[in-house]
């Protein structure tokens, strides 16, 4: 009796070390960067107003206004951007769908030529293209992936993008305001909390990069701190000039 050899199992070291980071970032990247945007912009706004010797009430009001304005602006911009991108992709998919319906043989030959260009033998490329083209929806998905670099079944949602941008920005922008809402009477608790949030966001970003968590955290802390320092100085200068 002939013994049929089965495919050799993956080597344990290869299996354990062959996982990759989410290079597209998934939900993590836009959420973290949205929070950092809210943190930096609102911290800079509030320190700039405080630098101009404004009252505590004015500083808090500017922080709340910055939170609301920034969150709605981010949500509207993200919705419009993603919706426009999705509409463009859907228009291109309609073009491809019509071509598959009107000229199926040409589209099949085009797919075979693509595989040939990647090193597949001509006869095998034509056979693969023929089999893949039997299902119109599968053919559309393959052409979209190969020619447009997109997945028709995984198009971004404008609503999800808008809501996530609004939430992440608002959460980040809330941190500098929170100490005042809890009764703080000075700016420094807000600055410390915001800088701690920036370090945390930077550390979380390390999940989708090759950098260490402390390097990413310190880098974001330095950038956010620099932005707050510059706006405070500008607020002091302009406040003195206006006064």
On the question of pLDDT at 61 being above 90, the answer is yes
Q: Answer whether residue 227 is part of any domain.
A: yes
Q: Answer whether residue 83 is part of any domain.
A: yes
Q: Answer whether residue 1 is part of any domain.
A: no
Q: What is the pLDDT of residues 164-190, one digit of tens each?
A: 999 999 999 999 999 999 999 899 999
Where is average pLDDT lowest: 55-59, 141-145, 222-226?
141-145
On the question of pLDDT at 125 being above 80, the answer is yes
Q: Answer whether residue 197 is part of any domain.
A: yes
Please state whether 211 falls in left (phi above 0), alpha (psi between -120 and 50) or beta.
beta
How many domains are contained in the chain? 1
Q: Answer whether residue 13 is part of any domain.
A: no
pLDDT of 28: 63
Provide the residue range defining the domain that includes 92.
27-236
pLDDT of 148: 83
Residue bearing the bigger pLDDT, 20 or 180: 180
**Nearest CA to 76 among 170, 163, 171?**
163
Q: Answer whether residue 22 is part of any domain.
A: no
Q: What is the pLDDT of residues 126-144, one digit of tens each?
A: 999 999 899 888 888 988 8
Where is average pLDDT lowest: 7-11, 92-96, 152-156, 204-208?
7-11
96 vs 139: CA distance, rounded Å? 10
Q: Answer whether residue 209 is part of any domain.
A: yes
**Nearest CA to 25 among 145, 200, 143, 164?**
164
Q: Answer whether residue 10 is part of any domain.
A: no
pLDDT of 13: 52
pLDDT of 240: 53
Q: What is the DSSP letter of 14?
A: H
117 vs 225: CA distance, rounded Å? 51
pTM > 0.85: yes or no: no
pLDDT bucket at 193, cuts 50 / 70 / 90: very high
């Amino acid at each position: 009796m002939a013994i049929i050899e089965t495919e050799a199992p993956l080597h344990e070291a290869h299996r354990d070390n062959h996982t990759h980071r989410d290079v597209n970032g998934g939900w993590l990247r836009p959420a973290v960067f949205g929070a950092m945007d809210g943190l930096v912009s609102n911290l800079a706004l509030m320190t700039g107003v405080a630098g101009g010797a404004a009252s505590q009430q004015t500083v808090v009001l500017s922080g709340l206004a910055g939170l609301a304005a920034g969150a709605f602006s981010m949500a509207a911009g993200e919705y419009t951007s993603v919706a426009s991108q999705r509409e463009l992709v859907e228009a291109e998919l309609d073009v491809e769908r019509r071509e598959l319906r009107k000229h199926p043989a040409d589209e099949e030959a085009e797919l075979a030529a693509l595989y040939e260009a990647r090193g597949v033998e001509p006869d095998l490329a034509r056979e693969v293209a023929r089999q893949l083209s039997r299902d119109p929806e599968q053919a559309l998905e393959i052409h979209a992936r190969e020619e447009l670099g997109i997945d028709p079944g995984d198009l971004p949602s404008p609503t999800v993008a808008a809501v996530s941008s609004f939430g992440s920005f608002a959460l980040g922008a809330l941190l500098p305001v929170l100490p005042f809402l809890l009764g703080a009477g000075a700016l420094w608790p807000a600055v410390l909390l915001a800088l701690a949030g920036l370090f945390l966001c930077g550390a979380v970003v390390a999940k989708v990069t090759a950098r260490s968590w402390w390097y990413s955290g310190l880098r974001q802390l330095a950038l956010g701190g620099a932005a707050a320092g510059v706006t405070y100085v500008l607020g002091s200068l302009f406040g003195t000039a206006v006064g």
